[in-house]
Copies of this chain bind each other. A is one copy, B any other.
């Protein structure tokens, strides 16, 4: 069969606030071929991602993503790999292309799984999908007592693990951060897995990070996430020599295989966190999972939006039994919740399981999403080259 259509949908909450919550909008992708529909989602600014799909060619290595996708044969797994390679070659100089490709790649795995009646993780070569231990992924509270309450609530909601991040952490005094770390540990309880996310605010300032290391050791944090921007490999490496049992985690900003490989090779991280909605989709994420496995680095998904994204981001390491920690967004906006009719829920032991249904196993809630669909249009030389398509 051939790819007949690729449609992008810009979904948004009525208002988007200036907070670290990535579930306020969504860039949904629908791919159709041979009577089958696949869905994916770019974890990306929708308008630039759409523009990267439809823009005019600038030169032979700066083509719109659609030039490498529309009309392509899609019959087996090798086709997905081939299409991704084609996008990377023909859109080499189009920076946003990796984000655009990510949602398309997900949709192709969904589509092919439905066509072949297999869940995506089986097509990826895994015999089974092992249970994952989700962590409740949350922002730090405005005060330590709010953070404490959030920790308690995570346990009350059945989570064995919780991650606190962003907000004011890392930006104020060391003492203020130490109080937040302690509050998180107290709220979560002594036996919970505690994860801390700095959100890159120290950029590459090793001293700012080092000042917080002892406190993180004292509260037995499992990892310290994104102390620095993704590329600051030497800063990561230096810090990793000082953190002892607290491992470094990072990688969500990686938008291709090589960036992730570099973090594994040079940054001294213990956990590589991959957003399948940014790195080029499930295909590239799986390649990272394979590589991390050979290098003794644990793979973790990075996900803070819908359960379509969640399913897609769990597929690449579904069959790695020991890589058990998984990110699970717990404070999504209703847009993210409404994106699918089914959801990946915690079982009574605090674990999650990928659906065994074909493809990504999620059903997009088309009727509900019409409430969030926004009109967007791009014109070039007087011609409409993009207009929000019908969602049906």
Contact = CB atoms under 8 A, between A and B. Distances in A.
Given A56-B12, A258-B229, A92 B378 contact: no
Contacts of A92: 200, 229, 253
A175 interface: no
A261 B60 CA distance: 28
Interface stretch (A45-53, A109-117, A242-250, A336-344): A45-53
Which secondary structure dominates where chain A touches chain B? Answer: loop
Identical copies in the complex: 2
Interface in A54-91: 54-64, 88
Interface in A220-234: 229-234
A16 interface: yes
Interface of A: 12, 16, 18-22, 24-25, 43-48, 50-52, 54-64, 88, 92-96, 98-99, 199-200, 204, 229-234, 253, 255-259, 261-262, 265-266, 278, 374-382
Contact of A51 (B12, B51, B231, B259): B51
A93 B94 CA distance: 16
Interface centre among A46, A55, A265 (most CB of B within 10 A): A55
A16 B63 CA distance: 11
B48 A55 contact: yes
Contacts of A256: 231
A50 B50 CA distance: 12
11 contacts: A16-B59, A24-B59, A45-B58, A45-B62, A45-B96, A48-B48, A52-B96, A95-B278, A231-B261, A375-B380, A379-B379
